[in-house]
Amino acid sequence: MVSQIMDVLKEKMLKTIDVLLEDLNSVRVGRANPSMLDRIEVEYYGSMTKINQIANISTPEPRTLMIQPWEKNILKDIEKAILKSDLGLMPNNDGTLIRLTIPEMTEETRKNTAKKVKKIAEESKVALRSLRRDANDKVKSLKKESSITEDDLKKAEDEIQKQTDKFVKKIDEIVVNKEKEIMSI
């Protein structure tokens, strides 16, 4: 019973790390990266669709993204979605494709981006703590049902805390590396 709870906890914590990495990939760091556009969605035939599912995205130059939609009639919609996003980029629509020039990062932009990274990381830590609380609640309910002993409860709570600490440390490492990347550009 407890081992199942631990397996589920570990799996959910790994998913939290995956989501964190995905979110951090979409943070602008001064050079063009197609994953910057991963969170932007465009209305396409009545449903919200990610840009990378309706267009080719390439990086012809280190600081330029080129978006070439499969259908030219959605250029305006893509342009609007980019303008509404939090990227702060100005799309250049030439009628067949959209170019995004990634501006050089200033010291202030770097600091703001680092703050944004820390905020995203803190949200992931909150998610981990929520997972820890849920796992502890499940283990305590096993104790109430007399499925496990008091000693087993303490061991399980200790193991849950160790898992949580391990994943929090991993988040901290990821953030430090991302901040180094941001500040070194």
Topology of 34-101 in CATH? Gyrase A; domain 2 (3.30.1360)
pLDDT value, residue 28: 66
pLDDT value, residue 107: 86
Closest by CA position to 53, among listed 36, 40, 65? 40
Residues β-bridged to residue 100: 65, 91
Residue spans of the domains in the chain: they are 2-25+106-184, 34-101
Tens digits of per-residue pLDDT, 106-161?
888 888 888 989 999 999 999 999 999 999 999 999 889 888 889 988 999 999 99
Q: Residue 89 pLDDT more than 70? A: yes
pLDDT value, residue 185: 63
Q: Residue 86 pLDDT more than 90? A: no
The DSSP code sequence of the chain is -HHHHHHHHHHHHHHHHHHHHHHHHTS--SS--GGGGTT-EEEETTEEEEGGGTEEEEEEETTEEEEEESSGGGHHHHHHHHHHSTT---EEE-SS-EEEE-PPPPHHHHHHHHHHHHHHHHHHHHHHHHHHHHHHHHHHHHHHTTSS-HHHHHHHHHHHHHHHHHHHHHHHHHHHHHHHHHHH-
Of residues 101 and 185, more confidence is placed in 101
pLDDT value, residue 23: 86
CATH class of 2-25+106-184: mainly alpha
Tens digits of per-residue pLDDT, 21-67?
988 887 766 677 888 888 889 988 889 999 989 999 999 988 899 99
Tens digits of per-residue pLDDT, 66-75?
999 999 889 9
The two domains 2-25+106-184 and 34-101 share their CATH topology (first three levels equal): no
